[in-house]
Chain A
Amino acid sequence: MSGVSSSWSVTEPSKLSKWLAATLVLAYTLITLLPLLWIISTGFKSGPDSISYPPKVVFEPSLEGYVNLFTTRTRLGAEAFAALPPPETWYDRIVRQSGMVIAGPSRFGERFLNSVIIGFGSTALSIFLGTLAAYGFSRFKVPLKDDLLFFILSTRMMPPIAVAIPIYLMYRQLGLSDTHLGMILLYTAVNISLAVWLLKGFIDEIPREYEEAALIDGYTRFQAFRKVVLPQAATGIASTAIFCLIFAWNEYAFAVLLTSGKAQTAPPFIPTIIGVGGQDWPAVAAGATIFLLPVMIFTILLRKHLLRGITFGAVRK
């Protein structure tokens, strides 16, 4: 049994071509990572450093941006400022340096939490419904199967925002505007077509014999689905979940339109930082950096599933 595909080239590539390939890949990687590096470094710059021209590559790191992101600040009169007791914490100290005091926490924490609830909630719901639907389409005789699948796909044929106004009006009528449930349902509706199609592809690849063996071994159809199909579909579920999460996490237009207060997510919130205390680019960059983390962590956690081959070698074809 050899696990190596026979389509590998027999001749070893030359040293020069290897170097060339490596250089190209490295250069491309740097170019694509540059905006990311820019955002992350800006988050650690001071206000003046962040807008200096030419941009500073070497700078004195500062947590000012992060402190500003999580706080609201006010400027006091000179006497009141002088009469203040010495700063108690490191973040007090940072704020005092720019002649201000902390008035309270900002809304960023809440908005970020909203993003987490809505992003992961809609991802979980999309995967749950998508897996069941994909299994049904893959394994059972469904009347009008092809038409239904096309119909599900057709919801992707226009940009979701094209239906923004009807949805806005519907949501107002239904009381779903600015609610977590409303946003979860909306993002699920957009993601479900992707989930059904992707997962159906993955489930189609799982040989039916596994379930049939389980059925004969005394399991019900649902037990066979849960104990045999789901572990096999883990790879597909993981990659589908990542796609769903990335969409729901980054979605901006609906979030601006439908949320303003208690269910507002981070994407529409971050730009509002600009308006609060002048153009506070370090705070914006800090918000963007923190905003990137969950999707990155989620992807890294599921990486092993993404890389693993499906049903490696257990069925001989």
Chain B
Amino acid sequence: MAEIVIQNLRKEFGAFIAVQGSSFTIGDGEFFMLLGPSGCGKTTTLRMIAGLEIPTSGQILIDGQDVSRLPASQRDIAMVFQMFALYPHLNVRKNIAYPLVSQGVPRAEVARRVAEVARILQIEHLMDKGVGGLSGGDRQRVALGRAIVRRPKAFMMDEPLGALDAEFRETMAEELRALHDRMGATTVYVTHDQLEAMQMGDKIVVMNHGVVEQFGTPQDIYDHPATLFVADFIGSPAMNFLPFEGGFAPGDVSVTLGGAQIAVPRLHEATEGRKLVLGVRPEHVTLGETGALRGRVLASEYLGTSQIITVETAHGPIKARAPSGQPARLGEPLALSFAGPRLTLFDQSTGRAFLTDANAGVHHG
């Protein structure tokens, strides 16, 4: 059980900056997601917490103790690797027992704890098999067993579901979350899959190009993205972006977009003379007879419980999530209206969201 504090963490590989000045706190017992596209620095961050990479600068505190220069073996952290990394020359039982053997735990105690872990993970029937012939899911369970048998301060997981088949991933994700709820240990989980992050995480850090873009709960990150990158990366289909120009003052409650007045959450900042982007989630677009913008139906995708209707407008194509029963004929003219309190206004040059009534309380990167 541990709280992990990351302070101004930075890692350079030669001229390449993998992580630049990250700071965030992983609460005790949290299921914490490091989310971002490949090459964004999330795995490097995880490896620095685990002790497999030494930071160029900055601190990692585990329960208040600075561990940033300690070797991995002294940090009392367990890790589950994407490729499982089970020791191929040992059978399942020995793989799980390995971390205990290194600590010199007495033989009887090792046997007892390995058996307990096998029961929790329901792999008792596999214990004497080699790891080579196991299925992906069973390998994953063995890797988890090797991690939990030690009762470490925290778990690091590097895309542990990435190597599994899609159908099995769902089941494993549920098992992982259930296991975490049962053990209550701090878990840091790296993924590039936004759905996985939303589904499992208590908190999410979104990273891009080595920079922390946003840090918060899944709800905050989805509803109030701090940057254009986060808005685009989270959500499927992605948020609609309507670029426009204009200047607005603190206290304004609407913006003018192509002559139409569109209600937005009350602004806390001035947007004087800048290029702006209005961000609208597809589910906050209503199609009907009247509305701020007009357009023609370009395409529709049927998703079962809902459908995505793409409407061509003067500001580019806009996707709307509509009930699956709503008729949408191609080429049909429609009006679009937006759910005002749910909109986000971005600065196009910096990509940052302006502070409004809606997102003022949300952490930014």
Are B102 and A218 in contact, CB atoms less than 8 angstroms apart? yes
Are B146 and A207 in contact, CB atoms less than 8 angstroms apart? no
Nearest CB of B to A136, in Å:
18
Interchain CB contact (< 8 A) of A232 among B77, B79, B88, B146: B88
Residues of A within 8 A of B52 (CB): 212, 215-216
Interchain CB contact (< 8 A) of A313 among B72, B73, B103, B132: B132
Residue A15 at the chain B interface, CB threshold 8 Å: no
Residue A228 at the chain B interface, CB threshold 8 Å: yes
Q: Name the residue in A207, A231, A311, A314 with the highest tally of chain B Cβ atoms < 10 Å from its Cβ.
A: A314
Residues of B within 8 A of A23 (CB): none
Residue A210 at the chain B interface, CB threshold 8 Å: yes
Q: In the complex, A1→B134 CA distance in Å?
A: 9
Q: In the complex, which residue of chain A has the Cβ closest to the Cβ of B82?
A: A209
Q: Which bucket holds chain B's interface residue count?
A: 20 to 34
Nearest CB of B to A201, in Å:
18
Residue interface bits A185-228, CB-to-B below 8 A is 1, else 0: 00000000000000000000001011011111111100100001
Q: In the complex, which residue of chain A has the Cβ closest to the Cβ of B74?
A: A218
B residues 277-333 near A (Cβ < 8 Å) are none
Residues of A within 8 A of B98 (CB): 214, 217
Residue A312 at the chain B interface, CB threshold 8 Å: yes
Interchain CB contact (< 8 A) of A216 among B73, B103, B139, B163: B73
Take A1-B135, A213-B79, A218-B99 as given contacts and tell me if A315 and B84 are in contact as well, using a CB distance cutoff of 8 Å.
yes
Dominant SS at the A interface?
A: loop
Are B88 and A315 in contact, CB atoms less than 8 angstroms apart? yes
Q: In the complex, A218→B98 CA distance in Å?
A: 9
Residues of A within 8 A of B131 (CB): 314
Residues of A within 8 A of B77 (CB): 216
B residues 42-81 near A (Cβ < 8 Å) are 50-52, 71-73, 77-79, 81
Residues of A within 8 A of B133 (CB): 1, 313
Residue interface bits A223-246, CB-to-B below 8 A is 1, else 0: 100001001100000000000000
Residue interface bits B121-143, CB-to-A below 8 A is 1, else 0: 00000000001110110010000
Nearest CB of A to B362, in Å:
34
Take A216-B50, A217-B98, A316-B139 as given contacts and tell me if A228 and B163 are in contact as well, using a CB distance cutoff of 8 Å.
no
Residues of A within 8 A of B87 (CB): 210, 213-214, 228, 314
Residue B2 at the chain A interface, CB threshold 8 Å: no
Q: In the complex, which residue of chain B has the Cβ closest to the Cβ of A311?
A: B88
Q: In the complex, A312→B98 CA distance in Å?
A: 20
Are A312 and B132 in contact, CB atoms less than 8 angstroms apart? yes
Take A217-B146, A231-B89, A312-B88 as given contacts and tell me if A317 and B79 are in contact as well, using a CB distance cutoff of 8 Å.
no
Are A316 and B51 in contact, CB atoms less than 8 angstroms apart? no
Residues of B within 8 A of A1 (CB): 133, 135
Q: In the complex, A1→B165 CA distance in Å?
A: 13
Are A219 and B102 in contact, CB atoms less than 8 angstroms apart? yes
Nearest CB of A to B318, in Å:
42
Residue B83 at the chain A interface, CB threshold 8 Å: yes
Residue B86 at the chain A interface, CB threshold 8 Å: yes
Q: In the complex, A231→B98 CA distance in Å?
A: 15
Nearest CB of A to B225, in Å:
34
Are A216 and B78 in contact, CB atoms less than 8 angstroms apart? yes
Q: In the complex, A214→B86 CA distance in Å?
A: 10
Residue interface bits A277-317, CB-to-B below 8 A is 1, else 0: 00000000000000000000000000000000001111111
Interchain CB contact (< 8 A) of B85 among A207, A218, A313: A207
Residues of B within 8 A of A216 (CB): 50-52, 72-73, 77-79, 156
Are A215 and B51 in contact, CB atoms less than 8 angstroms apart? yes
Are A213 and B85 in contact, CB atoms less than 8 angstroms apart? yes
List 28 A–B pairs whose Cβ atoms lie within 8 Å, in order of A's numbering: A1-B133, A1-B135, A209-B83, A209-B85, A210-B87, A210-B88, A212-B52, A212-B72, A213-B81, A213-B85, A213-B87, A213-B146, A215-B73, A216-B77, A217-B98, A217-B99, A218-B99, A219-B73, A219-B102, A231-B89, A311-B88, A312-B132, A313-B132, A314-B84, A314-B87, A315-B83, A316-B84, A317-B83
Interface positions of B (Cβ within 8 A of A): 50-52, 71-73, 77-79, 81, 83-89, 98-99, 102-103, 131-133, 135-136, 139, 146, 150, 156, 163
Top-10 shortest CB links A-B? A314-B88, A209-B85, A218-B102, A217-B99, A313-B132, A213-B85, A231-B89, A215-B72, A216-B79, A218-B73
